[in-house]
Structure 1
Amino acid sequence: MTDHPPLGSAIPGLLVQRGIDTVFGIPGVHTVELYRGLPGSGLTHVTPRHEQGAGFMADGYARATGRPAACFIVTGPGLLNAATAMAQALADSIPMLVITTLNPRATLGRGEGRLHELRGQSIVGREISALALTVLTAGQLVPALDEAFAFLASSRPGPVLIEIPIDLLSEPFLVPDSGARRPAGPPPPCMDDVEAAARLLDAARNPLVIAGGGCVAGAPAVRALVETLGAATLLTTNAKGILPGGHPLLAGGCVLTAAQHAMLDEADVVLALGTELGETDFWYGDAGLGLKGAVIRVDIDARQLGRNAVPALPVVGDAGRFAALLAPLLTRPRPGGEAYAQRLHAARLDGAEPRYTRHLPLLEAIWEVLPDAVVAADSTAASYGGNFLAEPPAPRRWMSAATGFGTLGYALPAAIGAKVGRPEAPVVCIIGDGGLHFTMPELASAADAGAPVIVLLWNDRRYGEIEEYMVRYQIAPLGVRLHATDFAAMAKAFGADHRMARSLAEVRAALLAASARAATTIIEMDASDYA
């Protein structure tokens, strides 16, 4: 054993041993003992302007890199501030480690008016995390960390929460001489199930693949399987880029049109890999997705296998490992797959709503100008259009909060987290004026962290999606009009550049110029110029 530092100061080193290199957090009196061990630990620390920003930054970091980051969050209000970001990550299966504190052990549950006291904090934490652990003794810390990282490495991803009382952070702690245990990887599927899937697919006349976010870690194997099978493939929002834009088997994404829905009936076998088949994956409404063919459902989470579609063959296991095992067993590609994919792809515009399709040229311009760009999208019309139509050149290039939990204000801090994780890549944030008001102060965090991002700001001076919904259902559109904000003055206040772009050509020029700057650039698009 080594020296006996306070337990809190040992935590940064224990995180580094387990592969964490970045922490997002705002120091507070309930977390300062965690900061005692930060200098010299090798951890990069980024300070957001709100704990929600810490969670969104960790989310963007994980989506862009495939690795979890950590958050240091204070008791009570800190955890509640981070709750929205954790719930978004839980809905979208995004890994992160959240270390929060509790009041002193002798005071828990007593209602004595302690600082940051939150009655039932552990109950709240369990509802917004995939795994919640409470450490009450020094001897429980390392086992809790080992359990947390084993879960992150082998289970359906999501936020993992560890709670530690503040009095325990100051207790002497024997730091183990040995490093962290190497956690096992995700579980492989049963080979009998893989062989059964091969038989079903070999007998299929017109198979269809639906790939979800659970495929991203195994993207090369999934792409190889699709090409071996020769099957038309739909990609959910979180799976975009597994097949790049222009791939002959790419059939489209989520937000299916009625024409596409009808064409799903043509598939006699559907291979659903790592996807919830959820409402916000495909916007199928109360009628359901309506898959008529036999469904092979592969998911790392056994609880997911019976939701939203009844499978003929349920398979528990990692989607990427399943794809790698299945591809060599297939005996022949389907010659009609490309034609089916092209018809589905064309049908994505048949009856599609113009308020989304109008943004297709903008979406295409991003990767034409910046081929390596990572894009973080908020809940705004251009982002909905992207969930529907964006076709990035590789995985981990499109992240969106307009799925699952569906929060506003996500894109800016998520973009900053992505830039921290991938500093060499240009990172573009697509956001509306309403959403930007939610997390605008994080522009200062980007400047402090040396993580400049490019903000494509769609300014229609309203909560446009909500106003259109209210009008459609004959509800007086109250509360949706926003007073004009001087975004140029705002950008200057936060150390960012500002450019107006009144045409697509100006957007393209502004994107290229912004990618060469060392500061964040806000490219403002006045919606009235694009009417």
Structure 2
Amino acid sequence: MQFRPTCGEAFVRLLEEYSVDTVFGIPGVHNLELYRGFAGSAIRHVLPRHEQGAGFMADGYARVTGKPGVCFLITGAGVTNCATPIGQAFSDSVPLLIVSSENTRDTLGKGIGCLHEITDQAAVTRPLCAFSETPTDPEEVPGLVARAFDVFESKRPRPVHLSLPLDMLAERTRLQWSPHPAASKPEAESEAVEEAAMLLEQAERPLILIGGGARGAAHQVLALAERLDCPILGTILGRDIVPNDHPLSLGGLLVSSIGDEILADADVILAIGTELSPNNSYSDVVTLPGKLIRIDIDAAEFDGRHPATIAIRADAALAADSLLNALGPMGGERDGAGRVLAYKGRPSTGFLPHLEKKHHAVLDEIEGVLPEGSILVGDMTQVIYSAINHFKIPKGGRFLYPSGYGTLGYALPAAIGAKIGAPDRTVLAIAGDSGFLYTAPEMAVAAEEGLNIVALVWNNRALGQIRDDMVNRNIRTVGVTPEPPEFEHLAKAFRWSYAKPGKVSEIGSALKAAFAAKGPTLIEVQDGIEGL
């Protein structure tokens, strides 16, 4: 009789055939049969110290590689520990494949007190995923994996969760498992493209607004902007797609005091790959008085807060190519570069005008030494809020940020995942002293893997934003001034190098030394040092 692999073994082999090269996983009693599959596998296994770290590492890896980040988790506790990263990835359209064990099939839904039991585990993650399923026959698995990669490659990329019962993982497969080809990316309907082209040709002050969904269409976006002679404005997740120094780039001015005015001034906005979220605006309510053309792979976006004048459901790059082909010669003078210079010459502030002077001093030091192609990973911290509209991303660089869900503790593990996915690029994480502690145990992973990442901790000895919000609302400050650890000792405990600049002017040299080091470095920047 021909030897057949177990479901767990076949699953790992199938992932390899889908070109998965890295898994962020934590082995436990429940998922051991998945780990049986690593024997002889070329897949790299990275051991996070907590499932939340696993999810954020997979997120950072996915954002820089464009491939799905994969996590292996245990039943119950492992899944709920990872729920926050899953929610973050759902919000920011990041492809994650979450693979967990589940209790045996004869116990599902019975609530009889099994180890790690959740009566409906798939239901826990379903609101946070494109889909969450529990197969009960090994031969259902290849189809579900194919469906997941179809989501990742031809739909709006979001997490997928597969819960694999313990007894099924150990069961022998009956058939040969092989990948299924993904569906083609959706192309734009010609009628909608023609209507959009006509509207853009007639526009006097067009504007292109790009979100994270335009990442694969950078060349087409620039070509459209140059053809239309109009500015390009990026959302938080889209501001690193077009080079800052391009004469038609407005950078991160969307999240500034003049962002709403820029939008209101446009008579036609071409929005590509953005949900037009209020999180991407300086104000709570975004007003778009002009006509709106929306290109999005997710048709659900067209009937939301900002209904489209013309809606084009398609892959961003394919739709932009079609639009370029449909546009005729541009008549009139739109002076896109002049509009950009005029906006950039206007005084503007970000979210925190009262703190911008000190934040900009720190950010300018960082900006001056970051090499081309660097990856900046920001946590939810005030200095990053100021960076959103001020910091110039290096040429060819990336800005990773937990935009929609807005979770603390993202920066360090996401930076680890980014470095694993892009080992030749400089990776800098910036977090506050409180947020850094949410996932500080993942420092062990950076040391264990020998990763040259740098974590800059902005130490203001407070949950600064919450403290300031309490003061502004006349609420007595409670629970917002936690005592930070001795970061030097923390770095030493995890075998990291450590630096603590005494002046703002010393931050750049500390970063240069850290970028040249062999392993990870923690740089502590205290609020109030000379120059602040």
Question: Which range, TM-score by smaller chain?
Answer: over 0.9
Aligned to 2:90: 90
1:276-315 equivalence runs, <5 A: 276-285=275-284, 288-315=285-312
For structure 2, list consecutive stretches of 5 or more residues without a partner in the other structure: none
SS, match of residue 476 in structure 1:
coil
TM-superposition CA deviations, 1:273-332 (whole Å, max 9, x none): 1001101111421xx210111000111100011222121111111112111221233222
Letter in 2 for 1:388: N
Aligned to 1:256: 255
Letter in 2 for 1:99: V
Aligned to 1:393: 394
Change beyond 3 A, Cα 1:212–1:467: same
Q: Displacement, 1:32?
A: 1.1
SS, match of residue 242 in structure 1:
coil
Change beyond 3 A, Cα 1:357–1:254: farther
Aligned to 2:316: 319
1:164-313 equivalence runs, <5 A: 164-174=164-174, 176=176, 179-253=178-252, 256-285=255-284, 288-313=285-310
Q: Displacement, 1:385?
A: 1.4
Q: Displacement, 1:411?
A: 0.3
Once residues 316 and 326 of structure 2 are traced to their aligned partners in structure 1, the CA distance between those partners, rounded to angstroms, is 16
Q: Displacement, 1:146?
A: 1.0
Q: Displacement, 1:92?
A: 0.4
Is contact 1:254–1:281 with CA below 8 Å preserved after alignment?
no
TM-superposition CA deviations, 1:85-135 (whole Å, max 9, x none): 000000000111111121101011111110000122111120111222221
Q: Displacement, 1:34?
A: 0.8
1:117-516 equivalence runs, <5 A: 117-174=117-174, 176=176, 179-253=178-252, 256-285=255-284, 288-330=285-327, 331-332=329-330, 335-347=334-346, 349-350=348-349, 353-356=353-356, 358-369=358-369, 370-394=371-395, 397-401=398-402, 403-516=403-516
Once residues 273 and 17 of structure 1 are traced to their aligned partners in structure 2, the CA distance between those partners, rounded to angstroms, is 32
Q: CA RMSD in A?
A: 1.8
Change beyond 3 A, Cα 1:280–1:346: farther
Q: Displacement, 1:525?
A: 0.3
Change beyond 3 A, Cα 1:296–1:395: farther
For structure 1, list consecutive stretches of 5 or more residues without a partner in the other structure: none
Letter in 2 for 1:340: R
TM-superposition CA deviations, 1:74-94 (whole Å, max 9, x none): 110100000000000000001
Is contact 2:462–2:482 with CA below 8 Å preserved after alignment?
yes
Is contact 1:376–1:428 with CA below 8 Å preserved after alignment?
yes
1:18-33 equivalence runs, <5 A: 18-33=18-33
Is contact 1:240–1:253 with CA below 8 Å preserved after alignment?
yes
Structure 1 length-normalised TM: 0.95
1:73 matched to 2:70? The reply is no
Instruction: Give the total of aligned pairs.
Output: 527
Aligned to 1:62: 62
Is contact 2:275–2:301 with CA below 8 Å preserved after alignment?
yes
Q: Which range is displaced more, 491-500 or 116-125?
A: 116-125
Once residues 391 and 298 of structure 1 are traced to their aligned partners in structure 2, the CA distance between those partners, rounded to angstroms, is 26
Letter in 1 for 2:139: G
Is contact 1:255–1:387 with CA below 8 Å preserved after alignment?
no
Structure 2 length-normalised TM: 0.95
Q: Displacement, 1:480?
A: 0.3
1:109 matched to 2:148? The reply is no
Change beyond 3 A, Cα 1:189–1:494: same
SS, match of residue 250 in structure 1:
coil
Change beyond 3 A, Cα 1:232–1:222: same
Aligned to 1:3: 3
SS, match of residue 184 in structure 1:
coil
Q: Displacement, 1:11?
A: 1.2
Once residues 68 and 132 of structure 2 are traced to their aligned partners in structure 1, the CA distance between those partners, rounded to angstroms, is 16
SS, match of residue 314 in structure 1:
strand
Once residues 395 and 466 of structure 1 are traced to their aligned partners in structure 2, the CA distance between those partners, rounded to angstroms, is 34
Once residues 34 and 511 of structure 1 are traced to their aligned partners in structure 2, the CA distance between those partners, rounded to angstroms, is 41
Letter in 2 for 1:400: Y
Change beyond 3 A, Cα 1:412–1:205: same
Once residues 76 and 440 of structure 2 are traced to their aligned partners in structure 1, the CA distance between those partners, rounded to angstroms, is 23
Once residues 239 and 366 of structure 2 are traced to their aligned partners in structure 1, the CA distance between those partners, rounded to angstroms, is 15
TM-superposition CA deviations, 1:142-180 (whole Å, max 9, x none): 111111111111110111111111110000114627x41
SS, match of residue 4 in structure 2:
coil
Once residues 350 and 72 of structure 2 are traced to their aligned partners in structure 1, the CA distance between those partners, rounded to angstroms, is 47
Letter in 2 for 1:314: A
Identity between Structure 1 and Structure 2 (%) = 38
Once residues 269 and 220 of structure 1 are traced to their aligned partners in structure 2, the CA distance between those partners, rounded to angstroms, is 21
Once residues 345 and 116 of structure 2 are traced to their aligned partners in structure 1, the CA distance between those partners, rounded to angstroms, is 55
TM-superposition CA deviations, 1:15-62 (whole Å, max 9, x none): 010121110011011111111111321101111010000100000001
Is contact 1:65–1:396 with CA below 8 Å preserved after alignment?
no
Once residues 34 and 421 of structure 2 are traced to their aligned partners in structure 1, the CA distance between those partners, rounded to angstroms, is 22
Aligned to 1:47: 47
Letter in 2 for 1:509: S
Q: Which range is displaced more, 85-94 or 361-370?
A: 361-370
Change beyond 3 A, Cα 1:151–1:263: closer
Show structure 1 runs of 4+ deviating over 6 A: none
Q: Displacement, 1:237?
A: 1.3
Q: Which range is displaced more, 335-344 or 356-365?
A: 356-365
Q: Displacement, 1:396?
A: 5.9
Is contact 1:242–1:394 with CA below 8 Å preserved after alignment?
no
SS, match of residue 490 in structure 1:
helix
